[in-house]
Structure 1
Amino acid sequence: MELKRVVVTGLGAITPIGKTIDEYWDNLQKGVSGAAPITRFDATHFKTKFACEVKDYNPTDYFDRKEARKMDMFAQFAMIAAEQAFRDAQIDPQAIDQDMAGVIWGAGIGGIITFLDETRSFVKNNEVPRFNPFFIPKMISDIAAGHISMKYGLRGPNYGTVSACASSTHAIASAFDLIRLGKAEMFITGGSEAAINEAGVGGFNAMQAISTRNDDPATASRPFDKDRDGFVMAEGSGALVLEEYEHAVKRGAKIYCELAGSGMTADAYHLTAPDPDGKGAERVMANALKDGNIRPDEVDYINVHGTSTPLGDIAEPRAIQKVFGDHAYKLSISSTKSMTGHLLGAAGAVEAIASILAMKNSIVPPTINLFELDPEIDPKLNLTVGKAQERKIKVAMSNTFGFGGHNACVVFKAVD
């Protein structure tokens, strides 16, 4: 069968470096770090005392108190980003076929803040079983998709994707497939995460996965740097409106770009470490290019996973060189996690948005905090070090790789 074309018509984001798309993009270009001492809880006794939080976040700026109490912060972030994207796409919910519009949303962890708060309350009350009736609906990862669909009356496919750091890229890829198969005309898709609490930070500390550079948080997220010591936890959300091309044209929608292809693979190697040769990453990029009928030499920019972890930052460049060959040296490559930190399940959506905005504005956002390149990484690769670079981008790729060996990749291209 002939697959339908899918385009991006709306964007929304709430991130550690901006609570709107414009703020986010402005600070990406400037190379602003979102890392700072933790304010969500007292981190005095933790190995890591900083993170990339959404700055000055107050739920009542967006929701009335009663509504806010029914949602974990990850779902609040989802609703905020989705509203921005819906508004950006200029969609009147009553003017579309709501049976053909859906929501697919990613979250790697979901309502961990709610889970910790309710467990604490249970223990504090001498194990008397008194739980908030919203405990389970606030905690479960799929609830963000439910909230969004109910707000806008979207009755099409509705579910959540959970694949650690690849969650929201899997959500985007799933929405993409359903539209091109003709099972929906429109999706709000993306992801959100809010895991900066004692359990989240303590858990990642126990794994030795996150940076402990407490003396200089702003430079702690340093992808590809010789002295990197782990990723920096972050929170927030990214949302995209995906739409069938003819449907978008018919309603006169603004079109950012086309979502051309996606890839999904597994490392089948280790709980938390990537395949050291980058085989899963290599295959997922190759699959995404094949899916989109795009040659490797047509790609201009890759927003890499680039978390600032010892193993991952070596495996991914190796995979890029295997997939792209000599063209790898002509690519623009950057890790925007150097600025935003790692948004976990929301990372894929937020970084897909960075890729789309890079195309729209012909500007490659930088990789900051790269002071001395790891000697195991080829110095001829253009990692967009230190400052943004101007470049006409016709094809952009976004990679995400999650604990458990989950790999997902999406490729965007300019609309003909």
Structure 2
Amino acid sequence: MTDQDRGRDQDQDVVITGMGVVTPNAGSVESFWEANLTGRSGLSYERRMDLSQLPCGWVAGIIPDGIKKSVEERAGVPGRSWTDMLLHATVDEALRDARVEGPLDRPAGLLWSRVSPGPSGTFPEDYVAYMKTVAARYKELGDDRAATLERLRAERAERTDRSTTEPSESTTFPHSVAQRLGTPLITMGLEATCAGGLRAIAEAARLLRTGRIGLAVVAASVSRNTHYVLSQYGQLMALSRWKGAAEQASMPFDSRRSGMVINESSAALVLETAEHARRRGVDTVHAVVEGWGLAVDISHVTAPRIDTVERVVRGALAHAGVSPDDIDTVNAHGTSTRLNDITEARALHRVFGKRMKEIDVCAVKSLTGHGSAASGVVESTVAALTLCRGVVPPVVTCTEPDPKCDVKTSLRPVERPVDTVLKNSFGFGGQYASMVFRRPPNPRRAPATSGSEHVGAEH
């Protein structure tokens, strides 16, 4: 390949130019990165409801009042649900980070995922009310598009004066993003459970590579800490049964792990081609989306399969054009469940073999808990910052590593050159996704006010 060909290929690289995050332990990207490096947890005991009759699930990742107030101040308007506030807050941060100012001169893409059908979408009565509303509207209006649109507008106006937790399939989020960007949007709502975040990134990259859009916004948010959800996961015995300090409840790859911790969180990314970013005057980026592997395996609704995890990891490597020897670190799915962690670890051993002894592994859910579809986008921000900053975050809750997993985690940040990160996300319903991110030739530097010296300490 000539230098000219290589330059042309780099022009078409799909790059991340903006990021936004709200999690239980941080209200912005930089504070989230600091939390990951210092081991600041966002987990606490759920005191808002009586969970005494549940067999597990007493700890949750709850966005604290201070961060919640900030989100409401930035993104709260009458009639807007909390889930939409989270989406707007993180999209706004990502667009500012990417220095995007509307109106854009080309169509854009919006790939987003949130719990559906309603702002909460997590009570059984939500789904009943939702389906009754849709059925009644269709019975009255049929296929009349104009009348249906007018009815939706009227319903939205009526909800403005009522509780913002009422179920509805409609949201002003895509319309608001289109107004902000000042351009038509190609929109896609994704429901792929815990793999939804990475799938949304992959779909955005596909759209960008077709040339149909100049820029894409990927966003996901979730707020599902309700008694119903905790009860359903509790019946599956999927939630943590830890009764000690709350910040220790999520412990990926630790021999004491007893289940995952559910959280509320949101994240957004701005993606575009390197050429498009450069034409906008953006000369530094966070990461290159190099390749991905996706699969749906219907063999079991909740239990992951080692061979399918292996297949999507190998698929991501092949799509990225890299070998197992090229991967420097793994940003794991790491849910802290007995089955998921060992399945992911064994699949990684199949792919990387003896190299697993030297591949640093981080697991963001150790500090945040599990944010369903939002987790893939949230954790991709950590993957991107790992590439730009050359630091692999620790897994501070993995103090008794499980020898059956045998992955290399650390109790302190590990400083090392990182050119490639493998990111995994797997979910209920047999959803699997794996993605390779590469360090860009022009990585975004840390703000002058952040950063400190870290000494690596590994198990």
Q: Distance in 2 between matches of 1:110 and 1:387?
A: 41
**Residue 116 of structure 1, CA deviation:** 4.0
Query: Deviation string for 1:16-73 (max 9, x for gaps)?
Result: 110000110001000122110225545455443320111111353224441xx332x2
- Residue 303, structure 1, aligned to residue 325, structure 2: no
Map of 2:17 onto structure 1: 9
Map of 2:73 onto structure 1: 61
Q: Distance in 1 between matches of 2:312 and 2:249?
A: 28
Map of 1:31 onto structure 2: 39
Q: Distance in 1 between matches of 2:171 and 2:354?
A: 42
Provide the secondary structure at the position in 2 that maps to 1:393. coil
Mapped contact 1:108–1:163 kept (Cα < 8 A): no
Map of 1:372 onto structure 2: 400
Mapped contact 1:232–1:341 kept (Cα < 8 A): yes
Q: Distance in 2 between matches of 1:30 and 1:154?
A: 40
**Residue 226 of structure 1, CA deviation:** 1.5
Instruction: Give the aligned residue type for 1:322.
Output: R
Map of 2:142 onto structure 1: none
Instruction: Give the aligned residue type for 1:316.
Output: E
Q: Distance in 1 between matches of 2:437 and 2:415?
A: 18
Q: Distance in 2 between matches of 1:116 and 1:110?
A: 10
Mapped contact 1:145–1:159 kept (Cα < 8 A): no
Q: Distance in 2 between matches of 1:279 and 1:161?
A: 25
- Residue 90, structure 1, aligned to residue 96, structure 2: no
Q: Distance in 2 between matches of 1:325 and 1:252?
A: 43
Provide the secondary structure at the position in 1 that maps to 2:27. coil
- Residue 189, structure 1, aligned to residue 218, structure 2: yes
Instruction: Give the aligned residue type for 2:28.
Output: T
Instruction: Give the aligned residue type for 1:373.
Output: P
Task: Return closer, same or farther for 1:114/1:293 CA change in 2, 3 Å cut-off.
Answer: closer
Map of 1:383 onto structure 2: 409
Moved more, 80-89 or 295-304: 295-304
Mapped contact 2:119–2:167 kept (Cα < 8 A): no
Q: Distance in 2 between matches of 1:111 and 1:292?
A: 36
Q: Distance in 1 between matches of 2:84 and 2:416?
A: 36
Task: Return closer, same or farther for 1:233/1:344 CA change in 2, 3 Å cut-off.
Answer: same
**Residue 325 of structure 1, CA deviation:** 2.5
Query: Deviation string for 1:210-230 (max 9, x for gaps)?
Result: 113244211110111122111
Pick from 363, 378, 402 the counterpart of residue 391 of structure 2: 363
Map of 1:70 onto structure 2: 80
Q: Distance in 1 between matches of 2:344 and 2:127?
A: 40
Map of 2:190 onto structure 1: 161
Mapped contact 1:109–1:195 kept (Cα < 8 A): no
Pick from 361, 365, 372 the counterpart of residue 333 of structure 1: 361
Task: Return closer, same or farther for 1:118/1:143 CA change in 2, 3 Å cut-off.
Answer: farther
Task: Return closer, same or farther for 1:413/1:120 CA change in 2, 3 Å cut-off.
Answer: closer
Q: How does 1:2-401 map to 2 (within 5 A)?
A: 4-47=12-55, 48-56=57-65, 57-58=68-69, 60-66=72-78, 69-71=79-81, 73-94=82-103, 96-99=104-107, 101-108=108-115, 111=118, 113=120, 116=123, 133-134=158-159, 139-140=168-169, 144-253=173-282, 254-275=284-305, 278-378=306-406, 381-384=407-410, 386-401=411-426
Provide the secondary structure at the position in 2 that maps to 1:36. strand
Task: Return closer, same or farther for 1:207/1:185 CA change in 2, 3 Å cut-off.
Answer: same
Provide the secondary structure at the position in 2 that maps to 1:165. helix
Provide the secondary structure at the position in 2 that maps to 1:399. strand
Task: Return closer, same or farther for 1:193/1:268 CA change in 2, 3 Å cut-off.
Answer: same
Q: Distance in 2 between matches of 1:238 and 1:195?
A: 16
Q: Distance in 2 between matches of 1:182 and 1:355?
A: 26
User: Which segments of 5 or more consecutive residues in structure 1 lack a partner in the other structure?
Assistant: 123-128
Pick from 397, 406, 410 the counterpart of residue 431 of structure 2: 406
Map of 1:125 onto structure 2: none
User: Which segments of 5 or more consecutive residues in structure 2 lack a partner in the other structure?
Assistant: 1-7, 130-135, 137-154, 442-459
Provide the secondary structure at the position in 1 that maps to 2:194. coil
**Residue 118 of structure 1, CA deviation:** 7.2
- With structure 2 as the length reference, what TM-score do the two structures score? 0.80
Mapped contact 2:119–2:165 kept (Cα < 8 A): no
Q: Distance in 2 between matches of 1:284 and 1:147?
A: 35
Mapped contact 1:149–1:158 kept (Cα < 8 A): no
Moved more, 156-165 or 40-49: 40-49
Provide the secondary structure at the position in 1 that maps to 2:376. helix
Q: Distance in 2 between matches of 1:181 and 1:194?
A: 33
Provide the secondary structure at the position in 1 that maps to 2:399. coil
Mapped contact 1:112–1:195 kept (Cα < 8 A): no
Percent identity over paired residues = 30
Mapped contact 2:123–2:229 kept (Cα < 8 A): no
Task: Return closer, same or farther for 1:63/1:240 CA change in 2, 3 Å cut-off.
Answer: closer
**Residue 188 of structure 1, CA deviation:** 0.7
Corresponding pairs, count: 398
Instruction: Give the aligned residue type for 1:398.
Output: K
**Residue 330 of structure 1, CA deviation:** 2.1
